[in-house]
């Protein structure tokens, strides 16, 4: 029997506001234990939550960017469970009435486009963190760090629309790109500001009814999501083929062992006893605010790729790399605005110097000048790379370095004549072979001329001169 996998993803994205969801504490990463806490987020009796408006704003922008419908009324609920890192013993989340519903994100895998549904987006607070003294099993004590308590999160829940691990990763990458474009989440998976749980089930191909799902946790990179989902699909198929049955459970991904392991069965699942938090009134969002925020949504990666490819005549693949970062794409367009003679080359250069561009060490002029000088033959490709490296090292303008270092290319045929003659005279055997039909030796002669000219000769012109002389 042939099986198909059904994958749904739940992403917890930490909203990059300066302060926490319900108090004024800093959200900065890396503070000492319990430094970013107050009576509010350490849940001292009597303190009350006050909603951070900015978190709502960022969530609405995310909703609009994923084509969700923003709900006029949403409600914060208490999700009750006991754990030492949860100081109120309930988490404030949204359950029945989330801030947004019914959106989608478009992905492309192997040249095939697909639309993945977004079921809902809701706002919730994060819990604290336990630090165990010694290893977990033999720990003498566990310490509670509440810096993370009350951090603002958006939970973005997809529809179970993905069928392969590749689709799952494509969805995650696109979602992360969108959040980065909006500047609402820093997308850092290692620091936990972009976390993903995956619901995986299998069913015989052609069957509509969903199979029993397992929820996978603890995957801290795209690669791990891919591996974990892949493993889990295989495990479930093998289990069913051996006559077994998939049980509903939560499974932890062990990246080192490359396996998922059962953490908790459905019977052990919590009854969270959700109910509306009486400390917070229902959240009412006015249409005018939503419309105002709609105006702040930048061009998103999907449409940007289409536009860059169409407008500049560059391959979609290149446009995709450029659009993977709003900064890189903007840089590319700024560069092309300075020199528009060879957008494809400009795109290549932007991809090549991506790291430097993203860390703001290069200006669009540098790349524009590098491309322009190369295109009109003033410098060679090698010289261009050398000069950009020199710009990075010295911070001096590209063209002053070019002139300073005398890296301008010799394109004047009369100036090259003498060198070409010299090279040909020194290699009579090769000249004979060439004339005998071994035209592949052309590159040998070009190489010799380049060497003699110490890289300054324009290889295109050199080729022409040699061809003429030997023709």
Interface residue list for another protein (CB under 8 A): 39, 43-51, 78, 80, 82-84, 87-90, 144, 271, 273-275, 277-281
Q: How is residue 24 written in tokens? A: 């004024």
DSSP state for residue 388 in the 8-state scheme: H
Smallest separation, CB 88 to another protein (Å): 5
Q: Could you give the CA distance from residue 467 to residue 439 in angstroms, rounded to a whole number? A: 10
Smallest separation, CB 89 to another protein (Å): 3
Q: Could you give the CA distance from residue 17 to residue 93 in angstroms, rounded to a whole number? A: 17
Q: Which is nearer to another protein, 273 or 294 (CB)?
A: 273
Q: Which is nearer to another protein, 24 or 337 (CB)?
A: 24
Q: Which is nearer to another protein, 87 or 165 (CB)?
A: 87
Smallest separation, CB 6 to another protein (Å): 25
Smallest separation, CB 283 to another protein (Å): 10
Secondary structure of residue 448 in the 3-state scheme:
helix
Smallest separation, CB 277 to another protein (Å): 8
Q: Which is nearer to another protein, 44 or 210 (CB)?
A: 44
253, burial (CB in 10 Å: exposed 0-12, middle 13-18, buried 19+): buried
The backbone region for 93, taken as left when phi is positive above 0, alpha when psi lies in -120 to 50, beta otherwise, is: beta
Q: How is residue 122 written in tokens? A: 């809701």
- Which spans in 41-164 are helix H? 53-65
Estimate the crossing angle of helix 459-470 against helix 413-426, to 10 degrees.
60
Q: Could you give the CA distance from residue 295 to residue 97 in angstroms, rounded to a whole number? A: 25
Secondary structure of residue 450 in the 3-state scheme:
helix
Q: Which is nearer to another protein, 32 or 45 (CB)?
A: 45
Q: What is the biggest distance separating any 2 CA atoms in the chain, rounded to whole angstroms? A: 96
Q: Which is nearer to another protein, 130 or 239 (CB)?
A: 130
Smallest separation, CB 123 to another protein (Å): 14
């Amino acid at each position: 029997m042939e099986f198909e996998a059904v994958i749904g993803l739940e992403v917890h994205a930490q909203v990059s506001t300066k302060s926490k969801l319900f108090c004024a504490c800093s959200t900065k990463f890396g503070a000492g234990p319990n430094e970013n806490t107050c009576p509010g987020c350490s849940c001292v009796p009597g303190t009350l939550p006050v909603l951070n408006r900015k978190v709502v704003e960022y969530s609405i922008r995310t909703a609009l960017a994923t084509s969700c419908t923003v709900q006029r009324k949403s409600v914060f609920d208490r999700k009750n469970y006991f754990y030492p890192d949860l100081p109120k013993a309930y988490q404030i989340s949204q359950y029945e009435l989330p801030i947004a519903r019914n959106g989608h994100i478009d992905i492309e895998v192997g040249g095939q486009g697909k639309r993945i549904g977004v079921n809902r987006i809701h706002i919730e607070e994060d819990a604290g963190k336990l630090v165990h003294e010694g290893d977990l099993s033999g720990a003498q004590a566990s310490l509670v760090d509440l810096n993370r308590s009350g951090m603002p999160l958006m939970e973005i829940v997809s529809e179970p629309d993905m069928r392969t691990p590749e689709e799952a990763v494509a969805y995650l990458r696109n979602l992360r790109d969108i959040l980065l474009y909006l500047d609402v989440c820093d997308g850092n998976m290692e620091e936990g500001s972009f976390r993903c749980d995956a619901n995986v089930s299998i069913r015989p191909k052609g069957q509509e009814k969903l199979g029993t799902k397992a929820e996978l946790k603890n995957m801290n990179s795209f690669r791990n999501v891919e591996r974990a989902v892949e493993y889990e699909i295989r495990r479930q198929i093998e289990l069913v083929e051996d006559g077994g049955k998939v049980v509903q459970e939560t499974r932890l991904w062990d990246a080192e062992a490359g396996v998922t392991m059962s953490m908790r069965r459905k019977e052990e699942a919590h009854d969270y006893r959700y109910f509306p938090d009486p400390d917070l009134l229902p959240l009412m969002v006015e249409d005018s605010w939503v419309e105002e925020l709609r105006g702040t949504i930048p061009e998103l990666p999907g449409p940007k790729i289409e536009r860059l490819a169409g407008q500049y005549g560059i391959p979609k693949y290149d446009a995709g790399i450029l659009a993977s970062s709003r900064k890189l794409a903007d840089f590319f367009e700024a560069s092309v605005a300075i020199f528009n003679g060879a957008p494809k080359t400009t795109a290549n250069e932007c991809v090549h110097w991506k790291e430097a561009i993203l860390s703001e060490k290069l200006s669009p002029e540098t790349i524009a000048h590098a491309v322009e000088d190369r295109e009109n033959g003033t410098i060679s490709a090698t010289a261009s790379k050398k000069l950009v490296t020199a710009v990075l090292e010295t911070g001096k303008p590209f063209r002053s370095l070019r002139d300073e270092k005398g890296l301008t290319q010799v394109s004047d045929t009369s100036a090259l004549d003498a060198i070409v003659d010299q090279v040909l005279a020194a290699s009579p055997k090769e000249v004979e072979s060439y004339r005998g039909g071994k035209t592949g030796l052309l590159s040998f002669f070009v190489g010799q001329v380049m060497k003699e000219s110490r890289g300054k000769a324009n290889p295109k012109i050199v080729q022409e001169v040699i061809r003429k002389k030997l023709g």
